[in-house]
């Protein structure tokens, strides 16, 4: 399922070569066409998306830079607060909770950078699981093979990106919940250093271990999303009070101290040979 990268979309929108509204409309059509089989989304925010996109186009017409994610569609795991939408966190019991009155820090940061929110994504209940086979919202299927699982607990986020429904999505990771679905769905996922990104408005699992982070189909898009998500937030007491540490969007220029760790012992002795071959290729 071909889909332009977030960086390409943002560059086109900021240059006036493509309207943010047309980008949002394309994303809506793709979600409506493909997500019935994948089940990545639990909630849509299409009306909000079109209004946001129209405002971005007005800014561009007035010579105002909407931000580095101008017109980029994104979605978030349904444990992130979205103004006016109940934060279900994959559960049944929270469906009668009061909807939040403001966006989570993760949503707000990407919106402030010009991103366009398309909706909320499926997950394991209360982020406790590795499969995203949710008893209340159904299973999220792997876009590469609908008979297989997407991983979890941020399976909806990884599947939405892998299927090209959105180029960027947000998830959370306490014990693998970004890394596992990213691996299963063949996309990039980032679990940032604890305290780097604000978790304000993200429903907690284990407060002292919870991380939030992005998914993307390219390293450049992952860097774009991560850079836009940074910033001080006094409402998250454990966030590190440090200046932004932006990553280069040039995928061919890793930092000089770049290191790769390869797991040995149990993993080397018990993994499928095909998996070990793939790891070796990546490490090289």
225 touches 169 (CB < 8 A)? no
214 touches 229 (CB < 8 A)? yes
pLDDT digits (tens, 9 = 90+) for 71-99: 999 999 999 999 999 999 999 999 999 99
Comparing 3 with 104, the larger pLDDT belongs to 104
177 annotated active-site: yes
> What is the C-alpha separation between 175 and 110, in angstroms, rounded?
25
Which position among 104, 154, 177, 198 bears the catalytic label?
A: 177
How many Cβ atoms from other residues are within 10 Å of residue 50's Cβ? 16
pLDDT band at residue 258, thresholds of 50, 70 and 90? confident
> What is the C-alpha separation between 112 and 64, in angstroms, rounded?
13
Degrees to nearest 5, angle at CA 248 with 234 and 175: 55
How many Cβ atoms from other residues are within 10 Å of residue 264's Cβ? 8
E-state strands within 107-151: 116-121, 133-134, 138-139, 141-142, 145-149
Three-class DSSP category at 133:
strand
> What is the C-alpha separation between 69 and 54, in angstroms, rounded?
15
Average pLDDT, the chain: 95
Question: DSSP letter string over 49-93?
Answer: HHHHHHHHHHHHHTT----TTTT-EEEEETTB-BTTB---TT-SG
CA distances from 231 to 106, 147, 205 (A): 10, 40, 23
216 touches 165 (CB < 8 A)? no
Which position among 77, 91, 154, 198 bears the catalytic label?
A: 77
Output DSSP code: residue 127.
Answer: G
198 annotated active-site: no
pLDDT band at residue 254, thresholds of 50, 70 and 90? low
153 annotated active-site: yes
Which position among 91, 104, 153, 172 bears the catalytic label?
A: 153
| Over residues 225-239, mean pLDDT | 93
Looking at residue 59, its pLDDT comes to 98
């Amino acid at each position: 399922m071909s889909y332009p990268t977030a960086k390409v979309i943002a560059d086109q929108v900021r240059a006036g070569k493509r309207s943010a509204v047309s980008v949002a409309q394309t994303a809506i059509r793709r979600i409506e066409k493909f997500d019935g089989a994948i089940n990545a989304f639990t909630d849509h925010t299409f009306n909000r998306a079109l209004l946001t996109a129209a405002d971005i186009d007005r800014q561009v017409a007035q010579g105002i830079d909407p931000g580095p994610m101008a017109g980029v569609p994104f979605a978030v795991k349904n444990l992130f607060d979205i103004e006016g939408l109940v934060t279900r966190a994959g559960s049944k019991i929270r469906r009668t909770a009061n909807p939040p009155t403001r966006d989570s820090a993760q949503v707000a940061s990407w919106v402030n950078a010009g991103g366009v929110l398309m909706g909320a994504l499926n997950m394991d209940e209360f982020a406790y699981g590795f499969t995203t086979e949710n008893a209340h919202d159904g299973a999220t299927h792997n876009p590469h093979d609908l008979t297989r699982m997407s991983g979890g607990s941020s399976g909806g986020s990884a599947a939405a990106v892998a299927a090209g429904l959105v180029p960027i999505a947000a998830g959370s990771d306490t014990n693998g919940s970004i890394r596992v679905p990213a691996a299963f769905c063949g996309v990039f996922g980032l679990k940032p250093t604890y305290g780097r990104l604000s978790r304000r408005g993200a429903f907690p699992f284990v407060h002292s271990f919870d991380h939030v982070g992005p998914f993307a189909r390219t390293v450049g898009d992952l860097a774009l999303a991560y850079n836009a998500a940074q910033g001080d937030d006094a409402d998250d007491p454990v966030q590190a009070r440090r200046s932004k540490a932006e990553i280069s969007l040039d995928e061919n220029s890793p930092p000089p101290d770049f290191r790769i760790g390869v797991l040995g012992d149990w993993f080397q002795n018990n993994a499928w040979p095909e998996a070990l071959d793939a790891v070796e290729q990546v490490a090289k």
